[in-house]
Amino acid sequence: MKFLILSFTVLLLTGPGEDSRRPQRLKGERTQSQKILLSELTTAIRKNFGSKVRIVSDTKPFHLLGDFNGDGFTDIAVLVNPEGAQQELKLNGVKYIDVEPSSTTNGKELELESATFQYCLGVAIMHGTKEGWGLPKPGAKYLFYECFIPFRLIPKSTRIRRRYRSVRETPPKLKGDAIYLYLERDAASIVYWTGKTYRGYYQ
């Protein structure tokens, strides 16, 4: 199942310099500029998501480091191709989340058995612990799926404002860093942590 999100130029309201300001250094943090070996990521994905989940490394960036759930530990989001991996994902305890803003199941876990993974991209998220984000095991593992072009990180300090009058949902106040997706159909979405799960918001 795909989630639908809108991608016009993002409208984020921030104070002077707020978008680039980072909070106090996270526990176990490696900055985005610090090199993470593809072999390291591959090992972590295979161990935590299954051998059939393949990293898509020809798109830049293909991973994001941030504190997505706001617990003070570094998390990682990785572009992946999960085609044919539904059973492995389920066996590995991965939560497949619907983050389509207009969906009645936005923010809810979906059944992996009925998922269709073709032609698009997935985002695999590993929550970090004091030991790190990949090995020996992350705090939690999530996956969502959509047809999008590059993604980028939105710092927790960013204030989100309403982009469309037709969207009645109140803009979220970020509990952690969020992920901005540029879709292939002139649309965009912010995927953010609610405190319990991930959810999409139109931008």
pLDDT of 133 reads 83
Query: Considering the chain, what is the average pLDDT of its residues?
Result: 83
Mean pLDDT is lowest, of 22-31, 86-95, 149-158, for 22-31
Q: Residue type at 82?
A: P
Name the pairing type of β-strands 141-146 and 95-96: parallel
Determine the pLDDT at residue 166. 61
Whole-angstrom distance, CA of residue 6 vs CA of residue 94? 26
Domain boundaries, the chain: 43-202
pLDDT given at position 125: 97
Which pLDDT tens digit goes with each residue over 3-61? 433 333 333 333 333 333 333 344 545 454 457 899 999 999 999 999 999 999 998 99
What is the pLDDT, as a whole number, of residue 131? Answer: 84
pLDDT at 112: 96
- For 50-54, 92-96, 124-128, 164-168, which range has the lowest pLDDT when averaged over its residues? 164-168
Question: pLDDT value at position 27?
Answer: 52
Distance in angstroms (rounded) separating the CA atoms of residues 202 and 168: 11
What pLDDT, on a 0 to 100 scale, did the predictor assign at position 165? 66
- Residue 44 tokens, joined: 């972590």
Q: Model pTM greater than 0.75?
A: yes
Q: What mean pLDDT comes out for the span 149-171?
A: 84
Q: What is the pLDDT of residue 69?
A: 97
* pLDDT tens for each residue of 55-83: 999 989 999 999 999 999 999 999 999 99
Q: Report the alpha-carbon distance of residue 187 to residue 171 in Å, rounded.
A: 17
- Chain-centre distance for alpha carbon 98: 12
